[in-house]
Amino acid sequence: MIADRLIAHRGCALLRPENTLEAMRVTADLGVPWVEIDANLLGDGTAIMFHDDYLDRLTNGSGPLAACNWQDVATLDVGSHFSTEYSAERIPRLDDAVALIDELRLGLNLEIKLYPHYAVADILPPVVAVLEKSWSRFDNLIISSFSTEALRALRALQPDWQLGQLWERIPADWAMLAEELGLVSIHCDYRYLDVATIAAIKAAGLDLYCYTVNDPTAGQVLLKAGVDGLITDNPLLFNLQD
């Protein structure tokens, strides 16, 4: 079934305010098996579920996350940018988000964001601590990042965790890096993917996930070509019974 191959991007970002607890719940309600979320950091070291490095686009606050502590952001409205119906949504602490996703029995693709205000050594310890405390099903967890440096450091800390490299365009030396980091998967922008690369990645025994697939026709073509999963903002665009 196509539903089994979907990963809800930031929850379901076209159905609920992105990266909110409500978005996690709707993902589970729809029967979508996996969710993708963004792990980010406040200046006081609190790990949160939030995409951007500034508050402005998604909340009624402003400025960089790096200038905030938890108390500064705890009461901000992270739902009204989507619809006033969701004005009660708050930025989730990463531990609360991970605990809920675990309770909902969803698979988790946790993307580690690494914005210029931070170093790998800032964000990795709080994210690892949250997962060790609040996640129970490590076969159902893939940690991805555009930052190869973050994945390399994580691999040194956690030899058994499933890691996936994110690229907009997959570079020519992907196989070398996959071997070095012990990757289970490659995640890429589907618009720059070609059939030869799909075949090579599958032949190498890796899983391949594409973002952000909101076009069901393109999604079907990708799945037929061998892509393992589609990261989408709206699972309802697909025929979930197929």
Residues annotated as catalytic are 9, 51
Q: What is the DSSP letter of 113?
A: P
Residue 41 β-bridge partners: 47
Closer residue to Mg ion, CB minimum distance, 167 or 200: 167
Site string for ligand G3P, 127-156 (x = CB under 6 A): -----------------x------------
Q: Is 166 in the site for ligand G3P (CB under 6 A)?
A: yes
Q: Is 238 in the site for ligand G3P (CB under 6 A)?
A: no
Q: Could you say which residues in the range 138-197 bind Mg ion, by CB under 5 A?
A: none
Identify whether the C-beta of residue 134 lies closer than 8 Å to the C-beta of residue 97. Answer: no
Please tell me the number of Cα atoms within 13 Å of 242 on its side-chain side: 14
Give the shortest CB-225-to-Mg ion separation in angstroms: 23
- Count the residues in the chain: 242
Q: What is the DSSP letter of 49?
A: E
Q: Round to the nearest angstrom and report the end-to-end CA distance of the chain.
A: 5
Taking CB under 6 A as the criterion, the residue among 94, 211, 222, 238 binding ligand G3P is 211
Site string for ligand G3P, 19-48 (x = CB under 6 A): -----------------x-x----------
Q: Is 233 in the site for Mg ion (CB under 5 A)?
A: no
Q: Is 77 in the site for ligand G3P (CB under 6 A)?
A: no
Q: Could you say which residues in the range 97-126 bind Mg ion, by CB under 5 A?
A: 111
- Please report which helix (H) or strand (E) contains residue 39, including its range: strand 34-41
Identify whether the C-beta of residue 38 lies closer than 8 Å to the C-beta of residue 109. Answer: no
Q: Is 111 in the site for ligand G3P (CB under 6 A)?
A: yes
Give the shortest CB-115-to-Mg ion separation in angstroms: 12
Give the shortest CB-178-to-ligand G3P separation in angstroms: 17
Closer residue to ligand G3P, CB minimum distance, 134 or 145: 145
Identify whether the C-beta of residue 157 lies closer than 8 Å to the C-beta of residue 124. Answer: yes
Q: How far apart are CA 166 and CA 145, in angstroms?
A: 5
What is the Cα 88 distance to its own chain's centre? 23
Residue 122 corresponds to which tokens in the numbers above? 């800032």
Q: Which residues contribute to the site for ligand G3P (CB under 6 A)?
A: 9, 36, 38, 51, 111, 144, 166, 187, 211, 231
